[in-house]
Amino acid sequence: MREPFIYKGTIPRIVFGVGTISMVAEELHYLDRRKALVLSTPFQEKDAQRLAEQLGSACAGLFNGAMMHTPVDVTIEALRVFSDKGADCVISLGGGSTIGLGKAIAYRTDAPQLVIATTYAGSEVTPILGQTENGIKTTVRDASILPETVIYDPELTYDLPVNMTVTSGLNAMAHAVEGLYAQDRNPVSSMMAMEGIAALHEALPAIVGDPRNPAARTDALYGSWLCGVVLGAVGMALHHKICHTLGGSFDLPHSETHAILLPHTVAYTEAAVPHLLEPVAALLGTDRAAPGLYDFALGIGAPTRLQDFGLAAEDLDKATDIAMRNPYWNPRPLEATAIREMLQMAWEGARPA
Ligand code: NAD
């Protein structure tokens, strides 16, 4: 019998397709905005510069100092530029780091955000902001944080390096996988989750073989949008908690950590709810989702060992302790010994059963 559910749509306006970068001015007009501050990382400064030229007088200025984990001092600097230039909205061109900065500005000013998403992390469709101050990362959820408009132009992802494509794609799949067993899942979020996983499952191997393949890049971006919506719509569980712990306390890189841990956190949880992960196992052609996800990740060249990203063997006990504190709800309750064993497997890169 169908389970009871609550559904609340929180999707920004989505403009999707090859060449849609040319629609930025039109979309600013739709938002009734005239002076955009364009945000980027130093790495994507040239793309931001091109966009500024395209916008002409609708561009108030550029700020290219976006950084991973949204440091508050960078936000303060960007807010000063936002105010000095008389900007009335932000355009975030990039991945989760740049989008985080745009969200941090919007949270403090209520400025509308237009995002041009260039990775698969999914932040552009969530009302969640993680920011760091004095080495501590905190997360806030607020309606002002959800961007108003997102442009997905697959052409902007053709040069996303293959290793980042793989880990970012697995990061997206992790949102959808956790969405399937979320406590507040609903038929729409589960449908989006499976569609997103399937799109990425098909697209990622094709991109590894041909990184500028337009169809595969389009499918991957489509899948990442759906996975991002799931992340914003329902609660995440053990996998996101552990990744948050390892990123925040041991400075492990975001998408690589997601990519390595996904098969292991799924193995842990699948033991309690195999039926909820059965569609993933079926898609992967395995009895269980966890080993299928491991084989898939390995096959597309994803990293598999936490030890390769600066986590020392002696950190595993501490990581277990932190993960056990204030745990997110998980279908299988957290047991310290089993979590420690799971982390050991991910540290070694072993294949989960
Ligand atoms: P990122 O934004 O840090 O990007 C990594 C690097 O790749 C940057 O130098 C960036 O400029 C470059 N890059 C991005 N797109 C590119 C492209 N198409 N071609 C070439 N280079 C490109 O990485 P990310 O994984 O997208 O984001 C990670 C951050 O996002 C973390 O801080 C994480 O916590 C946050 N995040 C937040 C949410 C949320 O809902 N709040 C969701 C997911 C991730």
The pLDDT assigned to 353 comes to: 87
Probe target for ligand 1 pocket from 11, 67, 68, 145, with the most ligand atoms within 8 Å of CB: 68
Q: Which atom of ligand 1 is nearest to the CA of 232?
A: 40
Residue 182's pLDDT band (boundaries 50, 70, 90)? very high
109 has a pLDDT exceeding 70? yes
> Which residue among 116, 123, 138, 163 has the greatest number of ligand 1 atoms within 8 angstroms of its CB, and so is best to mutate?
123
pLDDT for res 59: 98
Ligand 1 atom closest to Cα of residue 70? 32
Can you give the pLDDT at residue 306? Answer: 98
Per-residue model confidence (pLDDT) at position 46: 97
Structure tokens at 143: 């309606």
- Give the nearest ligand 1 atom to 130 CA: 41
- 39-73: pLDDT as tens digits: 999 999 999 999 999 999 999 999 999 999 899 99
Which residue lies with its CA nearest to atom 7 of ligand 1? 95
b/e burial code for range 90-123 (CB count within 10 A of at least 16 → b): bbbbbbbbbbbbbbbbbbebebbbbbbbbbbbbb
pLDDT 10s digits, 142-168: 999 999 999 999 999 999 999 999 999
* Residue 10 confidence class, pLDDT cut points 50, 70, 90: low
Q: Which CATH architecture best describes the domain 162-348?
A: Up-down Bundle (1.20)
pTM of the full structure: 0.96
Domain boundaries, the chain: 13-157, 162-348
Ligand 1 contacts (CB < 6 A) are: 41, 43-44, 68-69, 94-98, 100, 118-119, 121-123, 126, 128-130, 156-157, 159-160, 164, 168, 231, 254-255
13-157 under CATH 3.40.50.1970, yes or no: yes
pLDDT, tens digit, for every residue of 224-247? Answer: 999 999 999 999 999 999 998 898
**Per-residue pLDDT, 315:** 95
- Would the pLDDT of 17 be above 90? yes
How far, in Å, is the centroid of ligand 1 from the Cα of 162?
A: 14
Q: What is the pLDDT of residue 327?
A: 79
Mean pLDDT for the chain? 96
Distance 94 CA to ligand 1 centre (A): 7
Residue pLDDT, tens place only, 92-104: 999 999 999 999 9
pLDDT at 9 over 80: no
Instruction: For the chain, give the percent of residues with pLDDT over 70.
Output: 99
Mean pLDDT of 302-316: 96
Ligand 1 centroid to residue 97 C-alpha, Å: 5
Ligand 1 pocket mutation, candidates 43, 116, 243, criterion most atoms within 8 A of CB: 43
How far is Cα 349 from Cα 53, in angstroms, rounded to an integer? 46
